[in-house]
Amino acid sequence: MSHYVLKRTQKLPISLDLAWDFFSSPDNLAEITPAYMGFEVINNSDSAKMYPGQIITYYVKPLFGLKLFWMTEITHVAEKVYFVDEQRFGPYALWHHTHFFKEIPGG
């Protein structure tokens, strides 16, 4: 089995605290996911912040508008540094997604 690595960097003109608060909230996942994915959170454990072991379930429409079930687990969280979500069930053969955060000049 082969795998692909996709790496992207985004610089935001906001504080690290604001960035972390927004991106580490499961309630904001639909807002940061491209609209064409038809992303819909089903359950996020009713927690305002991500935590290791948290299971989040969704529906996504990655291809041809087909609605698919997707389950991820938040496996690692280092506050204001990074968090990792990994697929437990869903449309991908492998999904290991790490989000890194660091303060930069101007953001």
Q: Is residue 3 part of a domain?
A: no
Residue 39: which domain range?
A: 16-100
Number of domains in the chain: 1
From the CB of residue 15, how many other CB atoms can be counted at a distance below 10 Å?
11
Mean pLDDT, residues 52-70 taken together: 90
Q: Where are the beta strands (DSSP E) in the chain?
A: 40-43, 54-60, 68-78, 82-89, 96-100
Is residue 78 in some structural domain?
yes
Answer whether residue 10 is part of any domain.
Answer: no
Residue 53 lies in a domain: yes
34 — pLDDT class (breaks 50, 70, 90): confident
Please check whether residue 6 lies inside any domain of the structure.
Answer: no
In a domain, 67, yes or no: yes
107 occurs within a structural domain: no
In a domain, 76, yes or no: yes
Q: Which of 77, 89, 60 is nearest to 25 (CA)?
A: 77
Q: What is the pLDDT of residue 37?
A: 86
Specify the pTM: 0.86
